[in-house]
A and B are shown apart, each in its own frame.
Chain A
Amino acid sequence: MNLYSLYMKLFVFNAHASEMTLLERIKPPLDISTNGHLIDSLFNLTTMLITGFFILVCIGLFGFSYLYRKSRHPVALYVHGTARKHIAIVAAIAALVFMIIDMQITGISNHDYMQVFAKWPKEDADVVRVEVLGQQWAWNFRYPGKDGIFNTEDDIVTLNDLRLPVGKKIVFQVTAKDVIHSFYLPNTRLKLDAMPGRVSKMWVELTKPGVYDVACAQMCGTFHYRMQGKMTVYSQEDFDKWQNEMQNRTTFAMEKENADLYWGWKWLASK
C-alpha cells in the first residue's frame, strides 16, 4: 500500500475519498482552448529544468553534508574560493543556469505571448465579441446582438452565464464596475484583471463543448469566493440557436435610463 492511499484511508473522511489517483487529483482542469497547451507545455518544461537543477543542488547539499561531516572528514580544506579556477566554476554555473534555464523559457514565453496571446485578431475578422463587466459579486456579459454593435436595443445581456461557440476566435473586453476583479477561465489557462476605469482585452478559441467554471481571481470583498459564473460552450449551430432565442427575449430590457442594464460601451478598436 502506498503512502497516498494510506493517507486517504486514515485521514480523509469517506465522503471525499472517491476513487481517484493522486495524479488525477492534482491535474489542472481540462484544457478546452486552442492555445492552453502552450502554457501547459511551458509549465512542464520549466518543471523539468528546475527539477534537474534542484536535484543538482540537493546532490551538493546532502552529498557534501554526508561526505564532509566532522566524523568522516575531521580537517577542513583551507580554501577561500578566490582562485581563478574557483571563480571560473562559479561563473560557469551562473552562466549555464541563465542560458539553459532562463533564456530558454523566456524565449518560449516571449514567443507565445507576442505571437499568440497578445496577437489580437484583426478588426474585420469574423470573431465573437463579448463585453464583460465585473461587479461585486457577479459577472455581466454582453453580446452585440444581430446588428453587431454594442449598446443598442438588440444586445444580449446575461448574468454569470457565458455562452460561447467552439472553433471561432472570441474576443473579450473586460472592465469592472466597483472594485478590481479578475476574469479567470481555468479551462483556458487565462485570466485578466477587470479594473474600474480601464478596458482590457483577451482572446481565446475554444475546442470542446461543455459546461465550465468562470471565476474571479482577484480579492474583491467578502463574497469573492461566490463570484462564480458558468461558461457553456456550444457547437456553432447551437450557439446560433441560443443567440436567436435570446434575441427574441431581450429587446424589452434595453432602456437607456436603466444603468444596470445599459452598461455597455462602444467596442474599442484595437490598434
Chain B
Amino acid sequence: MAFFEQHIHDAPKTFLSKYVFSFDHKVIGKQFLWYGIAFLGLGGMMALMIRWTLAFPGEPFPIVGQFLFPQTNGVVPPDTYAMLFTLHGTIMIFYAITPILIGAFGNFCIPLLIGARDMVFPTLNMLSFWLAFVSAILLLASLFTPLGGAAGGWVSYPTLSTLIGSPGIGQTLWCLALFVLGVSSTMGAVNYIATIITLRAPGMGYFDMPLTIWGLWLTAILNALFLPVLGAGLLLLTFDRVFGTTFFLAGAAATSGSGDPLLFQHVFWIFGHPEVYILILPAWGVVSDLLSFFARKPAFGAKATALAMTTITILSTVVYGHHMYTTQMSPLLTQSFMMLTMTISIPSAVFFANWLGTLWKGSIRFHSPMLFALGVVFVFGLGGLTGLYLATVTTDLYLHDTYFVVGHFHYTMAASVLLGGFAATYFWFPKMFGRMMNEPLAKIHFWITMLGLNGVFMGMMVVGYAGMHRRIYNPFVYEFLQKLIPINMFITYSALLMGFGQLFFVYNFIYSLVKGPKASANPWEVGTLEWQIPSPAPHYNFDVIPVVKCGPHELGNPNLKNGRDFQYQTEELVEV
C-alpha cells in the first residue's frame, strides 16, 4: 500500500537533533509523553486544591498553601479557586490527555503498528510538538499576569470571558494558548490521517489495522475537522477582547452594536462534543486491542467494533445541542438533539457487547495493561450510562451544571481516558524504552487508582443529585447543601488516595526507565507489527518494510504448529 519509497537517513548525532528537534516519531512521541505527564501532575495538584477547598472551606491548604497564598494564610481565595478549576479543566483536557493519548501514543504507535518507518510529514510532526510547547509557555505565562490566569471556566463562555467579566490579560493569553495548541493538534491530525492512508504496510487493508489505529485515525479526523472551529471561536473572542469588536457581546455591555453570547456556545460545543470522542476514541481502540491480546483470542467482531467507532464519530458531530438545553432552544431542536444523542447508545452497546464477547471463553492473563483495560470497561460503563440522565431534557434541567455532570464527564473523560492511557503506557513501555515496568507496583497502582477514582466520581454524582451546583467556592453558604459536607469530605479523601496512588506510577516509571529488566522483542506475545522488531524500536523501525498477510488479532488458533498461540501479522493465516 505504500505509495512511495521510505528512505532511510543516517541517525542524528548531536544532542539537539537527536533529542530536542528530532524528526523521529518515536522521540516526538516520548516528548509528548513527558509533556503530558508533567501537565497531568500540575492538573492533579490543582484538582487537590479544588477538592480541599470544597471539603474544608476556610482551612489552609496543607504544606504548600502557605507559599502559594501568603496573603490569606494558605487558604485558597475565591478568585484563585475560579482560576484553579478553569485551568484544571483546560490543562487536563488539552495539555495532559491530548498529548498523552494522541500526541504520545499516536506518534509512537501509528508508524510502528502500520509498518512504516516514520510519519509521512516528519517536519510537520516536529513543528506540532514545538507549537504545543509554545502554547504551554503562553498558558503558564498567564499565571504570572497581574490578575492571574483565565478564570471563566474551561468553556469560557462570553460575556464572562470578554473584558466585562475578565479584564486581565490572562484570559487573552488563554485564548491564544488554545489557539496555538489547536494549530499544533491540527498539524498532528493531518499527519496522522495522511500517514494511515498512505503508509500502511503492503497488504494491510483498513480492517487489518489494529483497533488502536482505528481509534487514533478517527480521533485525528475529528481533530482536523473540529479544532479549526474552536480556533475560529477563540479568534473572535480574542478580537472582542483586544480590538473591541462585539461578536459575543450583548445586553448593557454592548455599547456599539450587539452580538450574541450564545453564538460562542454553539461554536464551542460544535467542537466540544466531538472533543469528548477525540479523547475517548484512542482509549477505546487500545482497550479493544488489549482485551483480545490478554484474553488470547481474536477480538470479537473487530470489524463491527471499528464500524461502531466510526458511527459514533459521525454521530458525535450532530448531538452538541444537548449541552445547551438550559439555554432554551426551540423545542423542535431540543427534541432532535435528544433523539440524536440517544442513538449513540446503539454503537456503544455494540462495542460493549464485543468487549465482553472478547472475554468470553478466553484465557485471560491479568497483566497490568489488561487490568487497566478491564478498568476502562467498568468505568466507561458507568460514565456512558450516566450520560442518559443528561441526554433526556427534563432530567437535564435539574442536573445541568451540577456536580452530577462533573461526575459523569470525569467518568468518561478522566477515568476511562486516564486508565486507557495507563494501559497503553504499561503495554508499550517495553517497546518505547526497552525495559519492563514493575508488575506488582503496577497492580498496586491500578487498585488504588480504581478505588480512589470511583470514590471521587461516584461521590460527585451523589452530591450533584442532591443539588450541589458546579464551580462554587463554598457550597455551604446554601442551606440545602450543608448536609453534604461529610460527602464532600469523602470525595476529597478519595482524591487524596488517588493522588497518592499515582506516586507508585511515577516511581515505577522512573525506576523502570533506569533499572527495569531488559525487555525482549515481544514480551506480551502478540502478533502486531511492532513486536517483530527489537525493543526499544530501532532507528527507522523496520529494516525491510513488512508485508502483512493477516489481521492483528490472530491469537489462539488451534492449528498453529510452531509452539506459539499467536501468529505475526506477516505470517500467512493458518486455516482452521
Within 8 Å of chain A (Cβ to Cβ): is B339? yes
At the interface, is chain B mostly helix, strand, loop or mixed? helix
Contacts of A114 in B (CB 8 A): 331, 335
Binary contact readout B396-409 vs A (1 if CB under 8 angstroms, 0 otherwise): 01101110000000
Select one of A18, A75, A178 contacting B556, CB under 8 A: A75
A140 to chain B, nearest CB (A): 13
Contacts of A57 in B (CB 8 A): 352, 356, 377-378, 381
- Asked if B345 and A217 sit within 8 Å, CB to CB, the answer is no
- Asked if A50 and B359 sit within 8 Å, CB to CB, the answer is no
- How many residues belonging to B are interface residues under a CB distance threshold of 8 Å? 108
Select one of B470, B472, B480, B555 contacting A76, CB under 8 A: B555
Query: In the docked arrangement, what's the CA distance between A117 and B359, Å?
Result: 45
Contacts of B443 in A (CB 8 A): none
- Asked if A109 and B393 sit within 8 Å, CB to CB, the answer is yes
Binary contact readout B463-498 vs A (1 if CB under 8 angstroms, 0 otherwise): 101110111111101111001111101100100000
- Asked if B377 and A105 sit within 8 Å, CB to CB, the answer is no
Within 8 Å of chain A (Cβ to Cβ): is B557? yes
Q: How many A-B residue pairs have CB under 8 A?
A: 323
Cβ < 8 Å to A, chain B residues 543-566: 555-558, 565
**A179 in contact with B160 given A77-B361, A113-B394 (CB within 8 Å):** yes
Within 8 Å of chain A (Cβ to Cβ): is B304? yes
Contacts of B462 in A (CB 8 A): 26
Query: In the docked arrangement, what's the CA distance between A54 and B378, Å?
Result: 9
Contacts of A8 in B (CB 8 A): 486
Within 8 Å of chain A (Cβ to Cβ): is B385? yes
Query: In the docked arrangement, what's the CA distance between A156 and B301, Å?
Result: 66
Within 8 Å of chain A (Cβ to Cβ): is B338? yes
**Which of A70, A77, A95, A179 neighbours the largest number of chain B CB atoms within 10 Å of its CB?**
A179
B550 to chain A, nearest CB (A): 11
Contacts of B359 in A (CB 8 A): 60-61, 64-65, 68
Within 8 Å of chain B (Cβ to Cβ): is A123? no
A66 to chain B, nearest CB (A): 9
Which segment of B31-39, B105-113, B196-204, B290-298 sits at the interface?
Answer: B290-298
**A178 in contact with B354 given A39-B398, A191-B397 (CB within 8 Å):** no
- Asked if A217 and B365 sit within 8 Å, CB to CB, the answer is no
Within 8 Å of chain A (Cβ to Cβ): is B525? no
Query: In the docked arrangement, what's the CA distance between A93 and B357, Å?
Result: 12
B372 to chain A, nearest CB (A): 13
**A79 in contact with B298 given A27-B466, A42-B395, A220-B165 (CB within 8 Å):** yes
- Asked if B338 and A178 sit within 8 Å, CB to CB, the answer is no
Within 8 Å of chain B (Cβ to Cβ): is A177? yes
Select one of B299, B342, B377, B477 contacting A228, CB under 8 A: B477
Within 8 Å of chain B (Cβ to Cβ): is A266? no
Query: In the docked arrangement, what's the CA distance between A80 and B395, Å?
Result: 40
Contacts of A220 in B (CB 8 A): 160, 165
Q: For residue B480, which residue of chain A has the nearest CB? A: A29
**A224 in contact with B253 given A57-B381, A179-B165 (CB within 8 Å):** no
- Asked if B252 and A61 sit within 8 Å, CB to CB, the answer is no
- How many residues belonging to A are interface residues under a CB distance threshold of 8 Å? 101
Contacts of B378 in A (CB 8 A): 57-58, 61
Which segment of A9-17, A143-151, A236-244 sits at the interface?
Answer: A9-17
Q: For residue B392, which residue of chain A has the nearest CB? A: A109
Within 8 Å of chain A (Cβ to Cβ): is B303? yes
Select one of B251, B301, B363, B471 contacting A224, CB under 8 A: B471
Query: In the docked arrangement, what's the CA distance between A39 and B398, Å?
Result: 8
User: Can you pick out 20 interface pairs between chain A and chain B where the beta carbons lie within 8 Å of each other?
Assistant: A11-B489, A12-B486, A25-B487, A29-B480, A46-B389, A53-B385, A60-B356, A73-B362, A80-B302, A81-B304, A90-B354, A94-B345, A106-B392, A110-B338, A114-B331, A175-B251, A178-B251, A180-B160, A198-B260, A217-B400
B interface, CB within 8 angstroms of A? 78-79, 82, 151-153, 157, 159-160, 164-165, 249-254, 258, 260-262, 295-304, 326-328, 331, 334-335, 338-339, 342-343, 345-347, 349-350, 352-354, 356-366, 374, 377-378, 381-382, 385-386, 388-389, 392-395, 397-398, 400-402, 462-463, 465-467, 469-475, 477-480, 483-487, 489-490, 493, 555-558, 565, 576
A interface, CB within 8 angstroms of B? 7-8, 11-12, 16-18, 20, 24-29, 38-39, 42-43, 46, 50, 53-54, 57-58, 60-61, 64-65, 68-70, 73-82, 86-87, 89-91, 93-95, 97-98, 101-103, 105-106, 108-110, 112-114, 117-118, 136, 175-180, 182, 184, 186-187, 189-193, 195-198, 200-201, 212-213, 215-226, 228
